[in-house]
Every structure is written in C-alpha cells, then in structure tokens.
Amino acid sequence: MIADDIVAALAAITGPAAIKTGDALRAIHPGSDPHNLDAGLMVTPQTVEQVSAIVKFCNGNRIAIVPHGGRTGLAGGAVSHKDEIILSLAALNRIESVEAAAGTAIVECGVTLQALQEEAAKAGLTTGIDIPSRGSATIGGMISTNAGGMEAFRLGVMRQRVLGLDVVLPDGSVMSDLAEVTKSNEGYDLKQLFIGAEGTLGIVTRAVIALTPVDRFTATALVACPSAAAAVSLFQTLRQNRALRLLRTEFMAHTYFSLAVEALGPASLAAFTQAPVYLIVESEGLTQEAAQSALEEALGAAIETGLVLDAIIAQSGKERNDIWNIREDSNVITRAYPHGYWFDISVPLQHLDAYLRQFDGGVAALGADVRGFAFGHLGDGNLHICVAGEDENPHKDAVKDIVYANIRQMGGSFSAEHGIGLEKMPELQALADPVKLALMRTIKQTIDPNGIMNPGKVVG
C-alpha cells in the first residue's frame, strides 16, 4: 500500500486528528534516540478497540508497527524506519483505580510513571520502581522493557510488580489477564512473555500494578569505602540490620565520583574524592531522628570494622539533593566524553570486586588516554559502564571483550535493565544460550508470523 492509503485506512479507525505526519510529527521530540520518529507516520489510538483495529489492519497488510510509550528507552527499542508506522499509546492514559487495602492500581499503559506515583501517593502508596525519566516514561513502556531502577533488590523489577495485563496480539485479538491478586496459577503465565519483549510480540494496553507503602522518614548518607568488596559487605550488613530499613544503595567507582564532583559540585566534597568506591545509602526509620541516628550508628560501626573509610550524613534537603545529583546526573560523563561506549550489566555481588578489578586492569591496558566509568545499583550488582577516550575510541571490540569478560561464568548479565532493542542485538546473538535463542525465534514466529511487531528488534 502507499502511504496515502494507509493514512486513509488508519483515519477510518481513529479519525484524522489521531494521525501525525510531516511537520506535525517533526514538532514532537523524538525522545532518547534521534531516529525514533523516522517512520514519518504516527497514529495515536484513543481506545483499546482502536489499537486492536489498527493492529488487525496492519497484520492483514503486512505493515510493520513500532509501539511507542514515552520514548525514553536507552537501547533503541523505539527506533522506527520508513514504511513502518508508529503506534503511540500516549492517549491511553487513564488511571482506572487505586485500591488502598490491596495495594494495587489498574492503569491504561500510556499513563506516565509520575502520574501513577502522584495518584498512588494519595493512598500512601507508591510504584516501587522509580527512574529519572518518570515524567515521560509510561507504565506500558516500563512493562515492555521490564524496567529496573534503584529499589529492585528489595521490591523487584517491573516484572514483579505486574499482577495482570491486557495485550493486543499481532492478529488484533485481545488477551485479557487482568488478575488483581499475587496468587493466580491459571495455566501458563503468558503475560510474562510480553513483559520485557519490547513490543515485538504484542502491545500492552492495560495493567494491574502492585503498589507498596511510601517511604516516610529517610536518612541519606554519602559513604566512602576502601573497595568494592567492602561496599558489598556493607550492603549485606545494612540489609540484615533490623534497626533500619535499607531503601537504596547506589554505587559509584572513584573515576565516576571524582569526575561528577568536579563537574557538579558541591565544592565541599572536593577533598572527599580519594576513596576507591562510593555509595549513596538511604534508609528509613520510625521518625526522622530515628532514621538518621540508626544510619549514623550503623555507619559508625562499619568504620570500626574497616568497611567504611568515611561517611557524610545529609543534614538538610539541600545536602541530600547535592548528594543525589552526583549520582543521577550521569550525563556528566557524556558531556566530558561524548564518544564513550556504554554498557548496562549485572554481576552477582560475590563477584563484584573481582569483576571491577578485571575491568580496571583491562581498561588500563588500552592506554593512558582511555578511562572507564562504573556506577549503578549496588544491591542488584547492576553497573552502568562507560569506556571513553578523548576522541572516538578505536577499541570497540576490545572494550566489549573487557566488559563482557567472564560475565556469563560469573552468573551475570550483559543486559541488565535497559533491554536489547537494536543496540544489544549483537550481544544477544553472541552471548545468549543457543537453545534459548532458538526458542525465542520460534516463539516470535508463532505469535507474530507476519513479523509486523517492532521488526528488527530483540530477535530480529
């Protein structure tokens, strides 16, 4: 079909106002990848019935669909090409219910994370997952990428927070599995297939999300540790400490921390940049005072045992924000080193120290102008890594070899929380278990025989 026919057919389903092309489409921000809008045609259905009709039409005419949530994904899963259409879920943005007693919400999948957080807060609840792109990222996108974040070690990733799901399958039929309960064993748990599938098997349209009580009185500390091994031991100690509830433990290796402090401040931390490893530790207590004193006591004990070199406990909202800014504004790396190679890996905690030693050694061997930055979510062993030189780094294959060395043998993952998208497809082909890879292709072929759902992503 030619583009005009497609527009006319889609307009017959959604009305013409729901279709954007040309300048109207170019006026939209492409999101985290400049090629997200390259298809040149976006349809924004208003109802699940319209989603179903569009998918059915596209399946019948072999038109490829790229589903879009908030376009904040970091692996290229929303990149689109000419002759594809973008199906935006942005208009499916109703929060249908929040149940305080059960701790659940039913939402349409275009709801942003922040909108759900705000609505849940009225019932003293929150989503259990928070990511910096909360204002744009949608629940559907977070389900499709199985988002992670800073609290996964205690509250799980998105997969663990989805109780029920409605999905439009590639033939346009709607699989409805909207259980609102934790315990439901009604045959194969097929909704799991669509969580983390990045829109390649169907389109998530509604979900039941498990909520969790909001944190009330929290204390925040910036902690310097003598090694990653010590940081892991500190995590283990704090997690088992019943006097506080450990909420977050963010990791920053020295290279990242010193770069970020130099670029972002505060100046008061300039003398605090000599340790090999830094953590941001956040915990909760019964009162603000109790939270602070429990954390202070625990970190004091850790200084005695040598797990901690020094620690600063935030005494005000400003001090807390200054500390978090060091960790959250990780674009500081890209601003200093625009040509870095980025990775998103997990390493089991018992191997984290060995992994980082191996990584530091490998990067050093690449030459004095190459630097490796590692930071991330300690509790999950999830590291975001950038390896960069002053100019375009010529060692891409060597860098991959260093970052992925032994990661499988250690029980880790080459793709922790950003997904495969386009970017990690070579890694998936090279590192995934071949039997699993073959079964993935079989499942894709079975559910989407015409290959219309987000083609070229994940399994191709």
- Among residue numbers 377 through 436, which ones bind its own copies (CB under 8 A)? 377, 380-382, 410-420, 428, 431-433, 435-436
- Choice from 54, 260, 347, 402 touching its own copies (CB under 8 A): 347
Measured CA angle at 234 (ends 233, 235), to 5 deg: 90
Residues 6+ apart with CB under 8 A from 386: 333, 334, 337, 340, 341, 342, 343, 372, 373
Stretch that binds its own copies, among 133-141, 256-264, 270-278, 341-349 (CB under 8 A): 341-349
The reply on whether position 122 binds its own copies by CB under 8 A is no
- Choice from 61, 184, 305, 331 touching its own copies (CB under 8 A): 184
- Name the residue nearer to its own copies (CB basis): 197 or 221: 197
- Name the residue nearer to its own copies (CB basis): 40 or 67: 67
The reply on whether position 159 binds its own copies by CB under 8 A is yes
Handedness of CA 313, 316, 320, 326 (dihedral sign): negative
- Name the residue nearer to its own copies (CB basis): 240 or 316: 240
Of 216-245, which residues contact its own copies (CB under 8 A)? Answer: 216, 232-233, 235-236, 239-240, 242-243, 245
- Name the residue nearer to its own copies (CB basis): 322 or 427: 427
Alpha-carbon span 440 to 459, nearest angstrom: 7
- Name the residue nearer to its own copies (CB basis): 41 or 447: 447
Of 136-155, which residues contact its own copies (CB under 8 A)? Answer: 145-146, 148, 152-153
- Name the residue nearer to its own copies (CB basis): 337 or 343: 343
Distances from the Cα of 233 to the Cαs of 226, 358, 403, in angstroms?
11, 19, 23
Phi-psi region of 438 (alpha: psi -120 to 50; beta: other; left: phi over 0): alpha
Distance of closest approach, residue 176 Cβ to its own copies, in angstroms: 5
Number of residues written out for the chain: 460
Q: Which residue has 């205690």 as its token pair? A: 154
- Choice from 30, 132, 348, 451 touching its own copies (CB under 8 A): 348
Which is it for strands 84-88 and 41-43: parallel, antiparallel or unpaired? Answer: parallel
Alpha-carbon span 283 to 85, nearest angstrom: 45
- Name the residue nearer to its own copies (CB basis): 37 or 167: 167
Stretch that binds its own copies, among 62-70, 87-95, 208-216, 247-255 (CB under 8 A): 208-216
Alpha-carbon span 188 to 421, nearest angstrom: 26
41 strand-pairing partners: 21
- Choice from 38, 119, 130, 180 touching its own copies (CB under 8 A): 180
Stretch that binds its own copies, among 5-13, 65-73, 94-102, 317-325 (CB under 8 A): 94-102
- Name the residue nearer to its own copies (CB basis): 271 or 435: 435
- Choice from 11, 179, 263, 405 touching its own copies (CB under 8 A): 179
- Choice from 70, 76, 110, 196 touching its own copies (CB under 8 A): 196
Handedness of CA 89, 344, 235, 406 (dihedral sign): positive
The reply on whether position 74 binds its own copies by CB under 8 A is no
221, two tokens:
């500390």
Alpha-carbon span 15 to 12, nearest angstrom: 6
Distance of closest approach, residue 261 Cβ to its own copies, in angstroms: 27
The reply on whether position 440 binds its own copies by CB under 8 A is yes
Q: Which residue has 């191709």 as its token pair? A: 460
174, with CB counted inside 10 A (0-12, 13-18, 19+), is: middle
Q: What are phi and psi of 201, to 5 degrees?
A: -120, -10
Distance of closest approach, residue 310 Cβ to its own copies, in angstroms: 22
| Beta carbons within 10 angstroms of residue 331's beta carbon | 10
- Name the residue nearer to its own copies (CB basis): 294 or 370: 294
The reply on whether position 17 binds its own copies by CB under 8 A is no
The reply on whether position 305 binds its own copies by CB under 8 A is no
Question: Are the C-beta atoms of residues 425 and 418 closer than 8 Å to each other?
Answer: no
| Beta carbons within 10 angstroms of residue 130's beta carbon | 16
The reply on whether position 164 binds its own copies by CB under 8 A is yes
Q: What proportions of the chain, in percent to the nearest 5, are helix, strand and coil?
A: 40, 25, 40
Contact pattern for its own copies over residues 245 through 264, marking x by CB under 8 A: x-------------------
Residue type present at position 16:
P
Helices marked H in 241-287 — which ranges? 254-264
State the number of binding residues for its own copies (CB under 8 A).
92
Distance of closest approach, residue 380 Cβ to its own copies, in angstroms: 5
- Choice from 15, 60, 135, 213 touching its own copies (CB under 8 A): 213
- Choice from 207, 238, 333, 349 touching its own copies (CB under 8 A): 349
- Name the residue nearer to its own copies (CB basis): 177 or 322: 177
User: Helix (H, G, I), strand (E, B), or coil: what is residue 124?
Assistant: coil
